[in-house]
Amino acid sequence: MAPTAEPMSEAEVAKVRDSARFLIDRFPAEAKVLVIAGSGLGGFVRSVVPELAADYSDIPHFGASTVAGHAGRLVLGRVGETPIFLMCGRRHLYEGISPQQAVLLLRALLVAFPLEIVVVSNAAGGLNPKFEVGDLMLISDHINWMFRNPLVGRNEEQWGPRFPDASELYSRKLREIAKRVAREIGILLREGVYVGGLGPTYETRAEVHMLRTIHGADAVGMSTVPETLVAAHMGRKVLGISFISNLLTVPAVTTHEEVMENSRLVEQKFSRLLTALIPRIV
Ligand code: HPA
């Protein structure tokens, strides 16, 4: 079955509209913020009081994540008084799906609702030698090292321009607010460039060396880039936060277990930051 490996087409657009209709029937349009919760945000997910939810497997055309440790549920809930949509888990390109498929739910949400801000989060390997496991990093910019882009193929003019600008994908204004909030609540927030790789293999030593020395990148993961491209294309502001789950700067073996285990160590800190931050960005 290979239809999902195609670029954006009329059929893909129809799928997004179909999912959007499903969402409009199920959820009210009161939230301005969508949070895409990757590894490390389990604590935050549990702190959001759910009001309505849908399993990914029930959302037309999307499908459940195939990866252990990645739940698949869309929640409408509240952080304090602030209503948010929360995607608990995401689809990744390394599952063998197309970029269009990976971002289908995000696109449908943005078509269905007047969301203004998308907060993307992820676990990433540290490339910056100053970073430590458990650090949080504000994404200032990204490098698309997946060599795939969900905007390839037919462009839906209603959604955004054919050739979108990418000079400030991660809102400077939101980053300033995030830094201020982090300072106020005593959380060290690093800032740097995120590399989105295809995976599922972690990086070789030569790749780590190249990413750091040639590209000046600070952290590398396997997600976020397609979502940011789509949200920005559709005129939404993006805030990205990585948690450093492992260090690629030391001669150690990287495992999924290590990444998941360390995500439990930062859950509380990550949750505190987002809980304080969200009411301040709406
Ligand atoms: N590399 C790529 N993706 C990752 C890593 C890493 O070291 N850690 C968590 N996600």
| Structure confidence at residue 66 (pLDDT) | 59
| Structure confidence at residue 1 (pLDDT) | 40
CA gap 46, 83 in Å, rounded? 15
| Structure confidence at residue 13 (pLDDT) | 87
Between the CA of 260 and the centroid of ligand 1 the distance, in Å, is 11
Between the CA of 9 and the centroid of ligand 1 the distance, in Å, is 31
- Whose Cα sits closest to atom 2 in ligand 1? 221
| Structure confidence at residue 4 (pLDDT) | 44
| Structure confidence at residue 186 (pLDDT) | 96
| Structure confidence at residue 268 (pLDDT) | 87
Task: Return the ligand 1 atom nearest residue 123 CA.
Answer: 9
| Structure confidence at residue 70 (pLDDT) | 52
Q: What CATH code is assigned to 10-151+165-281?
A: 3.40.50.1580
For ligand 1, residues with CB inside 6 Å are 123-125, 197, 202-203, 220-222, 245-246, 248, 254, 259
Per-residue pLDDT of the chain (282 residues; tens, 9 = 90+): 444 456 788 888 889 999 999 999 999 988 999 999 987 788 888 889 899 999 998 998 887 665 555 568 999 999 989 999 999 989 999 999 999 999 999 999 999 999 999 999 999 999 999 999 999 999 999 999 999 999 999 999 999 999 999 999 999 999 999 999 999 999 999 999 999 999 999 999 999 999 998 888 999 999 999 999 999 999 999 999 999 999 999 888 888 888 787 787 888 899 999 999 999 999
| Structure confidence at residue 100 (pLDDT) | 92
| Structure confidence at residue 251 (pLDDT) | 81
Task: Return the ligand 1 atom nearest residue 221 CA.
Answer: 3
| Structure confidence at residue 2 (pLDDT) | 41
| Structure confidence at residue 68 (pLDDT) | 54
Between the CA of 250 and the centroid of ligand 1 the distance, in Å, is 14
